[in-house]
Amino acid sequence: MIKFLNQILKIHNLSYSTVTVSNPLRGISTSGTIVKSAMFNLKEASKDQVQEFLNSFDTVLTDCDGVLWFFNNAISGSADTMNYFRKIGKKIYYVTNNSTKPRSEFATTAAKLGFVACPEEILTAAFLVAHYFKGIQFNKKVYLLGSHGIGEELEAVGVRHIGVGPDHVKPDVKSTKLSELDPEVGAVVVGFDAHLSYPKLLKAATYLASEQCLFVATNTEDRFHRPNSIVIPGTGTLVRAVETCSARKALVVGKPYSYVRKYLESIGLNPARTLMIGDRCATDIELGVRCGFQTMLVLSGVTSAEELAKLKNAKTPPLPDVVLPKLGDLLSLVC
Ligand SMILES: [Mg+2]
């Protein structure tokens, strides 16, 4: 473990003196196998241990930004590693909380960056919302605070929706009458909506005043991760606004909540033989822990080596099972 910490600190030019190592043997069991939540550095593993790791899962779920690409630039070696997973027979799914685009658009974006991906392999929070409504055979209308990505996914499963786009503020917004609302609405869905407005909050809260009205959200991140830039409020900001004015709690289907496990089970995949790869402990690794997946953290995105060392010292879950500086490093361990 000391060697492991030295390695990740070296990558990020950090000082070892900031880290306390409580158990230098943590990460490898007495039998030499990789153990859960141990932050085992795969670069320190033997060939047999790497092979054991690869044999331990059939399905790979991967986050995208920070693992495969960063600001629309592919991260070196990530595409080759994903191709390797495919070559050795792993099922692959790209998991993203972005709800602004339909899966087909994501597949096109991934292909432009060099990743093999078909729409069926893209699990967006928008797709999971649609899967949820399909599963409960929802036959009413959705009032949608979101963008066309969710709208198209809902339409693909035959769910009608209203609300996408601007809803301008009238001079006397509080004079809105109940008769202006659609009596067919039976659910409110909140995703990323650049057109959020007071009238939309008013309508969402009014629909949700009925206990029969379902309340579903894509994800709850406070903000988008854009260092040294303007602060871009995330979907969580919108979800909390609707939760506040409706006095209701949303069912959240995106990371780190565990609805994706239900989806995998619905198509016959085994969560216990699934690996979740991510760059952020609070969403990606948390998702893996909640779902009973194996987890791999890569240090090419949000969670830095320094933050990981702090989490470890504080023994603050969720901690990943294995760690690599970047996903592309896996190839050099197997080839
Ligand atoms: Mg990420």
Residue listed under structure tokens 């007495």: 30
CATH homologous superfamily for the domain 2-97+256-334: HAD superfamily/HAD-like (3.40.50.1000)
Cα dihedral 84, 86, 91, 97 sign = positive
Residue listed under structure tokens 């969580």: 236
- Selecting among 48, 65, 172, 222, the annotated active-site residue is 65
Give me the architecture of the 126-252 domain, per CATH: 3-Layer(aba) Sandwich (3.40)
Contact 82, 92 (CB under 8 A): yes
Q: Could you tell me the distance, in angstroms and rounded to a whole number, from the CA of residue 134 to the centre of ligand 1?
A: 28
Q: For 83-119, how does the pLDDT look when each residue is reduced to its tens digit (9 = 90+)?
A: 999 999 999 999 999 999 889 999 999 999 999 999 9
Residue 309: name the closest of 98, 85, 6 by CA: 6
Residue 285: name the closest of 272, 303, 267, 268 by CA: 303
Q: For 254-264, how does the pLDDT look when each residue is reduced to its tens digit (9 = 90+)?
A: 999 999 999 99
Q: Could you tell me the distance, in angstroms and rounded to a whole number, from the CA of residue 136 to the centre of ligand 1?
A: 30
pLDDT for the residue 35: 63
Cα dihedral 232, 236, 240, 243 sign = positive
Residue 312: name the closest of 40, 58, 84, 97 by CA: 40
Contact 280, 300 (CB under 8 A): no
Q: Could you tell me the distance, in angstroms and rounded to a whole number, from the CA of residue 63 to the centre of ligand 1?
A: 5
Chain-centre distance for alpha carbon 61: 10
Check whether 255 is labelled as a binding-site residue.
Answer: yes
- Selecting among 63, 193, 321, 329, the annotated active-site residue is 63
- Output the DSSP codes for 160-185: EEE--S--PPPTTGGG--GGGS-TTE
Q: Is the pLDDT of residue 130 over 50?
A: yes
Q: Could you tell me the distance, in angstroms and rounded to a whole number, from the CA of residue 96 to the centre of ligand 1?
A: 8
Two structure tokens written together for 9: 């600190």
Whether 193 is catalytic: no
**Letter string b/e over residues 309-333, b meaning 16 or more CB atoms within 10 A of that residue's CB:** bebbeeeeebbbbbbbbbbbbbeeb
Q: What percent of the chain has pLDDT over 70?
A: 90
Check whether 279 is labelled as a binding-site residue.
Answer: yes
> Is the pTM here over 0.75, yes or no?
yes
Check whether 321 is labelled as a binding-site residue.
Answer: no
Check whether 63 is labelled as a binding-site residue.
Answer: yes
Q: Is the pLDDT of residue 20 over 80?
A: no
pLDDT for the residue 17: 26
Q: For 289-319, how does the pLDDT look when each residue is reduced to its tens digit (9 = 90+)?
A: 999 999 999 999 999 999 998 988 887 789 9
pLDDT for the residue 173: 81
Query: Which residues touch 138 (CB under 8 Å, ≥6 apart)?
Result: 159, 186, 187, 214
Q: What whole-number distance in Å separates Cα of residue 236 and Cα of residue 37?
A: 27
Q: Given this chain, do its domains 2-97+256-334 and 126-252 carry the same CATH topology?
A: yes
Q: Could you tell me the distance, in angstroms and rounded to a whole number, from the CA of residue 87 to the centre of ligand 1?
A: 24
The residues spanned by each domain of the chain are 2-97+256-334, 126-252
Whether 65 is catalytic: yes
How high is the mean pLDDT of the chain?
Answer: 88
Cα angle 150, 141, 200 (rounded to 5 degrees) comes to 70
Contact 25, 57 (CB under 8 A): no
Cα dihedral 135, 136, 140, 142 sign = negative
Residue 207's φ and ψ, nearest 5 degrees, are -60, -45
Q: What whole-number distance in Å separates Cα of residue 316 and Cα of residue 309?
A: 10
pLDDT grade for 39, boundaries at 50, 70 and 90: confident
Q: Could you tell me the distance, in angstroms and rounded to a whole number, from the CA of residue 288 to the centre of ligand 1?
A: 14
Q: For 199-231, how does the pLDDT look when each residue is reduced to its tens digit (9 = 90+)?
A: 999 999 999 999 999 999 999 998 887 777 899
Q: Is the pLDDT of residue 282 over 50?
A: yes
